[in-house]
Structure 1
Amino acid sequence: MAYTDTNGIDLSGVTGRLLQTVDLVKNPAPQAIATDTVNGHVFVLQVESSATASAGNMYLNRIDRQTGVRTGSMQLKGFGHGLAMGVEPVGADSHVWTEVGPLHVTSGGTAFGKAVTRFRFEDGAVLDGAAIPQERKFTAPGSTAGTGPSTDPVNGLLTVMYHQGGERRFTRYDLTGAAAGDWAPVGPTFTVPAGEDTTPAVPSPYPLEPKLTFQGFASLGDVLYVYQWAPYDKDKDPALPSEFPGITFLTSYSWTTGQRLDRQVVTGADGLTRREPEGLAVEVDPATGETRLLFGFSNTTPGSEFARDVTIGWYPTRPAVDGIKVLSDWEDLVLEAGTAPGAQRPRGRLIAMAGTTHLQLRGTLTCFPGLTADGKVATLPHRLRPTRPARQNVPRNNFHGRCVCRVEADVHGALWAYGATADNAITWIDLDGVSVAWR
C-alpha cells in the first residue's frame, strides 16, 4: 500500500535518474554517494581492492552531474569501507564527510573507520587517515565499531551512524557546528528496533539470506531512510547465477516516534546486469529546487568480469500536477554524425502518469545521405536512459509504402533506428509520437 511521508516521498512510487552506468576510477563497486549541487558534482566512494592494497583504503570519485564524465579522484588511505558520506559546498570547493581510522577490522578482513572527519576535495591528492589530527576526528560516545556520516542539506544537519552494545544507532548534529568541532546532539538518538534486519517474506525467484545487509542511510527532516539488501542465498542454491544478486529494500523511520513508517522493495533501475544497492543521499535539485532522495546501484561494466560502474536514481518529493509528475524536463539529444535536426530539434523528457514512467520524445531527425542499415542516430542524456530497452515504431519517409521504422533506446542511452536497407534508405524520422514505458 502506498504511503507518502512528511517529506512527500513515496517509497513505492515512481523514480527518476541522475546518472547511469558511469565508470569509476578503479574496478571495485561503489559504496556511498553524495552531491554538491552548487558546484555541479556527484561524489562516489569505492573501496580499493584488498588484493592489491591494505584494508581500509578507498577511492573518492568526482563526476559531473550533467554529463556523467568523471572529473577527478582522490585516494583515501586507512579510512574504512564507505558506509556513508556527505558533501558541503563551500564557495567553489567541496568539503567531504567520511568515516576514517582508527579501523575496526572484522573477522572476515573488512575494515571500517571508527571515526568521522571532514576534508576538502583535491583532485589527485592522496590523503592518509593516520595523518589527520585527532581534533579533526569525531567518534560518537560509546561507539565500538564502524561509523558513517550523512548530510541533510535542507535542514543543515549531519547524521552519524555508529554501533553501541550490538545496536545500530543514529545521532544528528548541527552541520556548521560539527565542522567547527561542536558535537552537541540535536534531538533524540535513534536506535534501530530489534528484528529490523530480518529479511521480509517477499516474492523471490531464489532463496534469500535470512539477514539484511546494511547498504547506506540518509536523513531528511523527521525521516530516517535506511538502505538494505537481501542477497540470494548461495548456500541454499549453489547453482544460483551471480548476475542476479538479490532484492533491495528501503525503509523509513520517524525520528520523533522511533517507529517504522514504511518498507518497500526498490524497483528503480531493475534492468542492470548486476544490480547491487550502494548508498543513499539527499540533495536539492539546482534546476527545480525540488528536494530528492538519491539511491545508488552498482553494475558490472560491459565487457568486464569484475569492474563495476554506478547508477544513481532518485525519489521525487513534489506531488503530481494534473496527474503528471515531470521527472526530467525537455533536454536535447546528442546527434550522431550524419544526423541533423529537422524542423524541430530532437528532445526528450520523463514524465510519470498513474504510477507509470514514460520516456517521451519529440522533434525530427534528418539523415544525410540516408541510413541504409540499422544504426545509432542519437544519445540520450543520463537522466533519460532506461535500464531496459525502450522501443516504439515511428513515422519515417515513405518509400513504396514503407513508412515506419523502429527506434530503441538502450541502457547506455544510445538511440537506434531499425528498418533501413540498401534499397530503402531512411532520410528522416518523426519522434513526436514517442511515449513509451520507461524503467
Structure 2
Amino acid sequence: MQTTAGYPGGVRRAAPVAAAVLILGGFTAGASGVPGEARSRPAARLPDSQRFDLTEPSHELFRHRRLRDGTVMQSFGFDLRNRRLFAAQVARGPFSDHRGDLTINRLDHAGRLKGHMRLRGFGHGVAIGVEPSGSATYLWVEVDPHPASDSARGTRLARFKYVDGATLENDSPALAKHRPIPGITGVTATIDPVNNRLAMRYKKGNWRVAVYNLADVKARRYDRRLADVALPSQGGETFQGYALYGRYLYTFHGNEYGEENPPPGNARLSTIDLNTGRRVAGPTLTKAGRSLTHREPEGLAVYRTGRGEVRLFLGIASGRVGHRRANLFYKDAPAR
C-alpha cells in the first residue's frame, strides 16, 4: 500500500504490523499533586476524552530507518502543521551520554532523514516536545544535566527553534529555559498536539507528571497546573517514554531483547488517568516489531491526521551496535 503524500494518513486501513502502511488516522479527537508551592493553584480537572485500546494490534509506519548517528532513537514527536517528524538520539561518541549531548533528526513521514541539529549538554532525550509555530518548529528538550548523573538527566526544560545543521550549547541565548517546579533533579516534556497541553515528567523524590496548558508554561504561569500525579510503579521495568492525549497519559516500559528477555520481549504500554493518578489500562504487552533484532522500546507520541483522526505512535530501536535503526508503529482503536 502507498502512504498518501503530505501526511501519514492514507486512504485505506493498513493490516496489523504490515509493511509500508497508511498511518495516522484512527479515532476522531474527542472533547478535548505534588503538594504545590504556597502560591500554586489547586490542579484543575482535565475534561473527559477518548482513550486508546492498548490491546488492539499495532500497525506499521516504517522500519529500519537510519538516523544521523548510529545510536538508538530515544524519543520522537510530530509537527502536525508542517508535517515534520523529529527523533532524538544520544550523539555518537564515548562520553556523549555522560555530557548530555544529543542529535535531533528531522525526518519525513516515510522515515527519510531530511536534516539534523546538535545539542551539547542537554540530557538523555527520553522524551521531547514538538511545537509548531507558523512555518517553524520549536522543540522542548531537557537541559542542564544533574552533575551526579552518569547518564545525563536534565534539570530544566529548554524551548528553542529547530534549525537544520545548527549546534546549540546549553548556555546559548537561543534557549528559553523553564523550571516550573523548584528543586527537581530530572525532567522531560511531551506535548499533546491536539489540545495544546504540555506534560512534564519530573523527579522530586519520586517521579511525577504535571500537566499545563502550553501557553501557560511559555508565559511562565507555572501556578496553573491542570494535573499533578505520581506515576504508578511498573514493577522495575525500564521507563522508555510517554505521551499525552486529553485526560490520559500513556507510558512505555521495557528492555531490549536478551537472554533474560527473549522474544516477544517485555515491552508494555499503560494508560493513566491524570485526574486520579490511577492506571486504568495495562500494563499491556505489545508485540509490535517482534521480529526486529535488538528490539528496544523507545518513545511514544500522538499524531492527528488532516481528517481529525488521532493515533498513538510507539518507537522501537533495532539493529546492531553502532548501526541502530528507527521503527515506528501505531495504535488507533478507541477503548470501548
Query: TM-score when scaled to structure 1?
Result: 0.61
Determine helix, strand or coil for the equivalent of 1:178: helix
Q: How many angstroms does 1:180 deviate by? A: 3.1
Instruction: Name the residue aligned to 1:261.
Output: 280
Instruction: Name the residue aligned to 2:322.
Output: 306
2:157 to 109, 116, 122: 116
Q: How many angstroms does 1:99 deviate by? A: 0.7
> 1:218 corresponds to which letter in structure 2?
A
Q: How many angstroms does 1:119 deviate by? A: 0.8
Query: Compared with structure 1, are the counterparts of its residues 244 and 110 closer, same or farther at alpha carbon in structure 2 (3 Å cutoff)?
Result: farther
Percent identity (aligned): 30
| 1:197 aligns to 2:234 (yes or no) | yes
Query: Compared with structure 1, are the counterparts of its residues 33 and 15 closer, same or farther at alpha carbon in structure 2 (3 Å cutoff)?
Result: same
| 1:221 aligns to 2:246 (yes or no) | yes
> 1:72 corresponds to which letter in structure 2?
G
Determine helix, strand or coil for the equivalent of 2:215: helix
Q: How many angstroms does 1:245 deviate by? A: 9.2
> 1:128 corresponds to which letter in structure 2?
E
Q: How many angstroms does 1:241 deviate by? A: 8.4
Q: How many angstroms does 1:306 deviate by? A: 2.5
Matches within 5 A, 1:282-361: 282-286=302-306, 288-300=307-319, 305-317=321-333
Count residues with an aligned counterpart.
288
Query: Compared with structure 1, are the counterparts of its residues 133 and 63 closer, same or farther at alpha carbon in structure 2 (3 Å cutoff)?
Result: closer
Instruction: Name the residue aligned to 1:58.
Output: 102
Measure the CA separation in 1 of the matches of 2:334 and 2:131: 24
Q: Which has the larger radius of gyration?
A: 1
* Superposition CA RMSD, Å: 2.5
Determine helix, strand or coil for the equivalent of 1:189: strand
Q: How many angstroms does 1:153 deviate by? A: 1.3
Determine helix, strand or coil for the equivalent of 1:247: coil
**Which residues of structure 1 form unaligned runs of 5+?**
199-210, 235-239, 321-439
Query: TM-score when scaled to structure 2?
Result: 0.79
> 2:202 corresponds to which letter in structure 1?
Y
Structure with the larger RCO, 1 or 2 (CA within 8 Å, 6+ apart): 2
Instruction: Name the residue aligned to 1:152.
Output: 192
> 1:89 corresponds to which letter in structure 2?
P
Matches within 5 A, 1:119-268: 119-132=160-173, 136-165=176-205, 167-193=206-232, 196-198=233-235, 211-230=236-255, 240=259, 246-263=265-282, 264-268=284-288
> 2:295 corresponds to which letter in structure 1?
R
> 1:284 corresponds to which letter in structure 2?
R
Measure the CA separation in 2 of the matches of 1:274 and 1:152: 29
Instruction: Name the residue aligned to 1:99.
Output: 142
Matches within 5 A, 1:75-86: 75-86=118-129
Q: How many angstroms does 1:77 deviate by? A: 0.4
Query: Compared with structure 1, are the counterparts of its residues 16 and 245 closer, same or farther at alpha carbon in structure 2 (3 Å cutoff)?
Result: closer
Q: How many angstroms does 1:185 deviate by? A: 3.2
Measure the CA separation in 1 of the matches of 2:125 and 2:335: 33
**Which residues of structure 2 form unaligned runs of 5+?**
1-26, 28-47
> 1:275 corresponds to which letter in structure 2?
R
The answer on whether the counterparts of 2:316 and 2:326 sit within 8 Å (CA) in structure 1 is: yes
The answer on whether the counterparts of 1:143 and 1:162 sit within 8 Å (CA) in structure 2 is: no
Query: Compared with structure 1, are the counterparts of its residues 143 and 192 closer, same or farther at alpha carbon in structure 2 (3 Å cutoff)?
Result: farther
Q: Which runs of 4+ in 1 moved over 4 A?
A: 241-245, 317-320
Q: How many angstroms does 1:115 deviate by? A: 0.6
Query: Compared with structure 1, are the counterparts of its residues 305 and 8 closer, same or farther at alpha carbon in structure 2 (3 Å cutoff)?
Result: closer
> 1:308 corresponds to which letter in structure 2?
R
Query: Compared with structure 1, are the counterparts of its residues 251 and 90 closer, same or farther at alpha carbon in structure 2 (3 Å cutoff)?
Result: same
